[in-house]
Amino acid sequence: MTPTPEKDAQTVTELLANKLPAELVSDILDYAEYFGHEVIGISERRGFVRSRWTSARAESEEGHGCKDIKLHLVAQIPDFMALRKDTAGKGGLGGGRPGRVRKIVFRLRCRDQGWSNHPEIDGTYQWGRSRIDVEVWRKHEGVGLDDDYDGKGGMYRVCASLLQRNKVAVTDVLEYEISWRWDEDKPQDDTANVDEVGRHEKNGQFVRELKGGDEIRIFIKAFYTGWECIIERCEVECWWAV
């Protein structure tokens, strides 16, 4: 069923809330996929990174000092403004239904450098060291500080995930749409699947973690000498329970 615009979802929520217990309203809306949604971030500028040798040890285990990483796009999860106080969707940042985000969709146009010294994996996602990753950052609210704390912006990293590898040694810009739902979890060990399609097909844990006000940060990365990652377009769309 195609999700409806948020205004329709709010109307249905209010009608059901006048006749049914709140917990039933939530289940019905989720089943029918009556969700609000909007594009929360978009970049059509070209991004480029090239892996190179650095004297410092790489933060990642990949590359062993050969890396290039750049922040390409920041998208913010909506603050989920409250509806009327007697509706199932009441609450914003401080309350209401937990786990309001129901789906995140990433749309990408990107490619690898177009050549390699390993013809046996050309045109596949195997061993791809040119990729796009996603992280969730949140305002610091008194949690313990650690290495993921961003002292400048008062933010800390909540979680991170591979978003999409590039096909090895392919010069054409390829288009991807990665859709993660709150109720679909990737297998504990999906290495073979990632090698086949270049990404995690399901990442419900990532979606369930999201809260209003969080930042979704998109990074373009390349590891090992000679690898490049080129991105032409990036879009993030958020779907949430009203």
- Higher per-residue pLDDT: 171 or 151: 171
Domain positions in the chain are: 38-241
For residue 166, give both structure tokens: 């590039």
The yes-or-no verdict on residue 86 having pLDDT over 50 is: no
Mean pLDDT of 13-19: 78
DSSP 8-state secondary structure symbol assigned to residue 121: G
Q: Which residues pair with 239 in a beta bridge?
A: 37, 103
Q: What is the pLDDT of residues 137-164, one digit of tens each?
A: 998 766 555 555 665 568 899 999 999 9
- Taken in order 136, 142, 146, 151, the sign of the CA dihedral is positive
Q: What is the pTM of this model?
A: 0.82
Residue count of the chain: 242
For residue 175, give both structure tokens: 């288009």
The reported pLDDT for the residue numbered 71 is 97
Three-state DSSP at 82 gives coil
The yes-or-no verdict on residue 178 having pLDDT over 70 is: yes
Radius of gyration (Cα) for the chain, nearest Å?
A: 20
Mean pLDDT of 96-106: 77
Name the most confidently modeled range: 23-32, 164-173, 186-195.
164-173
Neighbours of 54 (CB within 10 A): 13
DSSP 8-state secondary structure symbol assigned to residue 185: -
For residue 126, give both structure tokens: 């195997």
Beta carbons of 34 and 25 less than 8 angstroms apart? no
In the numeric block, the tokens 């285990």 are attached to: 61
- Taken in order 154, 158, 164, 166, the sign of the CA dihedral is positive
The one-letter amino acid at 101 = V
Q: What is the pLDDT of residues 29-72, one digit of tens each?
A: 777 777 878 999 999 999 999 987 664 554 455 666 788 999 99
